[in-house]
Amino acid sequence: MTTEQQGDGIHLSAPELIALKPRCNALSLPMHRPAASALAGAYRSRFRGRGVDFVESRSYIPGDDIRNMDWRVTARTGKPHTKIFQEERERPVLVVVDSSASLYFGTRKRLKSVAAGQMAAAIAWAAVRRGDRIGAFLFAPDTHRELRPAGGRRGAMRVIQGLVDWLNPESVPQGYEPLSVSLERVRHAVRPGSLVLIISDFFNLDEQCHRHLSRLRQHNDVIGCQVMDPAEKALPAGRFPISDGERSAMLDTHQQQSRHRYDQMSATHADVPRRMFQRHKCGWMVLNTTDDPVDVLGRELRLLIGRPA
């Protein structure tokens, strides 16, 4: 793998995301909930019926469904003809990627934003390999971008270019917006029967997320992926300058009280979103900046597929 394909851990690049493709061919995205489509396709369906895409008319063959008779062609030719429909075999997969300011942080190997982008790209390659359509919902405070699901390499490349443009450390978004605002937009935009993967560090989680997750889960499969840096879990003993961009302070972890408070905050940050997603029967996985996103995705998908719906 070339240096360009490896990336620098700060800037997300198209070559490094394209290089993930061969490793994602063996990944299998889960599908527990029957698709809302009335088409048989590649997944189980709540309903049994005809496809919606008309392909052609051909001569009637005994045993053909008479509901598919093409009466116009039959009348014109004097011979019975039936309509042929193409079944829809693609499921929409939507990666929802948070690019709030807290995501542009990292102490080892890569920024959380880069890890998030790599995970989203791995999902995109796994989706199109299976024949699904891949789209993205990219959000930041007061702004968002929607990439409608599309199939094949073209669909994956569209998502990859969107991730590279969106997760740019040179233009970190400012301000704060609760995650529920984005989830509400996703809920109204996503097509029922989709697989929705929400990638975030979940620092912007709020109570309204419960309502939107519950409704989103009613008609879709949902998986949350929390991106974390090792420093967000524990800090070594020392004195560390900290800042929120406006104010600065010194954190002294030599003091047991400071270290205990930090550990409590870290545990809460890891526990609250996990409990929320599990409460609404959503999948859950954690990606550390030191992890290999493809390895994490493969391991967690095997666990998710093995669980009952």
At 227, phi and psi to the nearest 5? -95, 125
pLDDT at 5: 65
* Average pLDDT of the chain, as a whole number: 85
Which CATH homologous superfamily contains domain 3-34+90-306?
Answer: von Willebrand factor, type A domain (3.40.50.410)
pLDDT at 211: 96
pLDDT at 85: 63
The 8 Å CB, 24+ separation contacts for 271-279 are 272/202, 272/205, 273/202, 273/205, 273/224, 273/226, 274/224, 274/226, 276/205, 276/209, 276/210, 276/213, 277/213, 277/222, 277/224, 279/210
pLDDT at 216: 95
**What CA–CA distances, in Å, run from 235 to 152, 239, 254?**
43, 10, 10
In whole angstroms, give the CA distance from residue 106 to residue 102: 10
Q: Which of 179, 203, 175 is nearest to 268 (CA)?
A: 203
What does pTM read for this prediction? Answer: 0.79
Q: How many CA atoms lie within 13 A of 265 on its CB side?
A: 11
pLDDT tens for each residue of 223-271: 999 999 998 888 777 887 877 667 888 878 777 787 788 888 889 999 9
For each successive 10 residues of the chain (309 residues), what is the average pLDDT?
72 96 87 41 35 68 82 93 67 94 92 97 94 94 94 95 95 92 94 94 96 94 95 82 76 79 88 96 95 93 61
pLDDT at 40: 34
pLDDT tens for each residue of 25-65: 888 887 554 444 333 334 333 323 333 456 678 888 877 77
**Beta-ladder partners of 250:** 241
pLDDT at 277: 96
Give residue limits of the domains in the chain: 3-34+90-306, 53-86
In whole angstroms, give the CA distance from residue 37 to residue 82: 23
pLDDT at 307: 55
Collapse the DSSP code of 284 into the 3-class scheme (helix H, G, I; strand E, B; otherwise coil) and give the result.
Answer: strand
Residue 115 burial by CB count (10 A; 0-12/13-18/19+): exposed, middle or buried? buried
pLDDT at 103: 95
pLDDT at 35: 40
In whole angstroms, give the CA distance from residue 119 to residue 48: 35
